[in-house]
């Protein structure tokens, strides 16, 4: 992409008007990025709705939150935080690699991201199955004996980390698709907005975890 893209875009407009009627050949990296950011805002507010609930119930049931949070494994939470931070860093490093026309290195970084995503999900799997084994799940035997605040805490815990996990999976599919396109040279050093957009998505998922982690695992 040339540096003065604004001018280029307008020239495209003028030329295309004569040429391909009925086709939408038009590249606007900036517009693409703006669309992605707006989409990220909807994700922020999607989780935002749950953060409102989280905050409200933390206010109502502050003591029960402390009791319930003790059940969560800070160790796994910390490991998962580090995994996600590393994966996020790998994505930007991948972009730099692609800019420097180093396709192999770029794909290597993205493979690392994928591995991190998978590792995160594996940890999550063990964490969840362990709790379910103990009977701590909605309508589960152990949860039925707990106080109302604890029930709500674990309800939120499952929904929020579950939805976050879902976003990790979507992000992995997104990045996987981008990797195929890089492999086929459809995304190159001068046309990589799609990679950036996938990166933005992945970073947002990371940011949400940055908040989920202290809010669920670090209450004492």
Residues 99-128 that bind another protein (CB under 8 A): 99
Q: By the 8 A CB rule, do 192 and 98 touch?
A: yes
What backbone torsions phi and psi does residue 74 show, to the nearest 5 degrees? -60, -35
Tell me the backbone φ, ψ of residue 210, rounded to 5 degrees. Answer: -55, -35
CB of 38 to another protein, least distance (A): 4
10 touches another protein (CB under 8 A): yes
Q: Which stretch binds another protein (CB under 8 A): 111-119, 127-135, 143-151, 180-188?
A: 143-151
CB 147, min distance to another protein, A: 8
- Phi-psi category of 163—alpha, beta or left, where left has phi over 0 and alpha has psi -120 to 50? alpha
Give bridge partners of residue 188 from the DSSP assignment: 191
Enumerate residues 164-203 that contact another protein by CB under 8 A: 196, 199-200, 203
DSSP lists the bridge partners of residue 191 as 188
Return the range that interacts with another protein (CB under 8 A); candidates 31-39, 111-119, 128-136, 176-184. Answer: 31-39
Q: Is 76 in the site for another protein (CB under 8 A)?
A: no
Rounded to the nearest whole angstrom, what is the least distance from the CB of residue 107 to another protein in the complex? 16
Using CB under 8 A as the binding rule, whether residue 211 contacts another protein is answered as yes
Cα 89 to the chain's mean position, in Å?
13
The CB-side HSE value for 206 (13 A sphere, CA atoms) comes to: 22
Length of the chain: 220
The interface region with another protein, picked from 113-121, 123-131, 168-176, 205-213 by CB under 8 A, is 205-213
Question: Residues 42, 104, 184, 185: which binds another protein (CB under 8 A)?
Answer: 42
The 3-state DSSP class for residue 52 equals: helix
């Amino acid at each position: 992409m040339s540096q003065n893209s604004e001018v280029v875009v307008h020239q495209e407009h003028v030329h295309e008007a004569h040429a391909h009627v009925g086709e939408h050949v038009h590249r606007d990296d900036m517009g693409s990025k703006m669309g992605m950011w707006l989409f990220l805002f909807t994700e922020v507010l999607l989780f935002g709705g749950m953060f409102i609930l989280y905050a409200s119930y933390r206010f109502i049931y502050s003591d029960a939150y402390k009791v319930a949070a003790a059940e969560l494994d800070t160790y796994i939470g910390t490991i998962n935080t580090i995994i996600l931070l590393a994966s996020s860093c790998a994505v930007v490093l991948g972009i730099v690699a692609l800019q420097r026309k180093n396709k192999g290195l770029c794909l290597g970084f993205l493979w690392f991201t994928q591995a991190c995503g998978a590792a995160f999900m594996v940890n999550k799997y063990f964490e969840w199955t362990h709790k379910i084994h103990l009977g701590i799940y909605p309508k589960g035997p152990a949860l039925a004996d707990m106080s109302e605040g604890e029930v709500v805490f674990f309800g939120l815990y499952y929904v929020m980390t579950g939805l976050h996990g879902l976003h990790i999976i979507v992000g992995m599919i997104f990045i996987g698709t981008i990797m195929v396109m890089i492999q086929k040279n459809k995304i190159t050093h001068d046309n990589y907005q799609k990679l950036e957009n996938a990166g933005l998505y992945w970073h947002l998922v990371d940011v949400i975890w940055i908040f989920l982690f202290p809010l669920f695992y670090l209450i004492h």
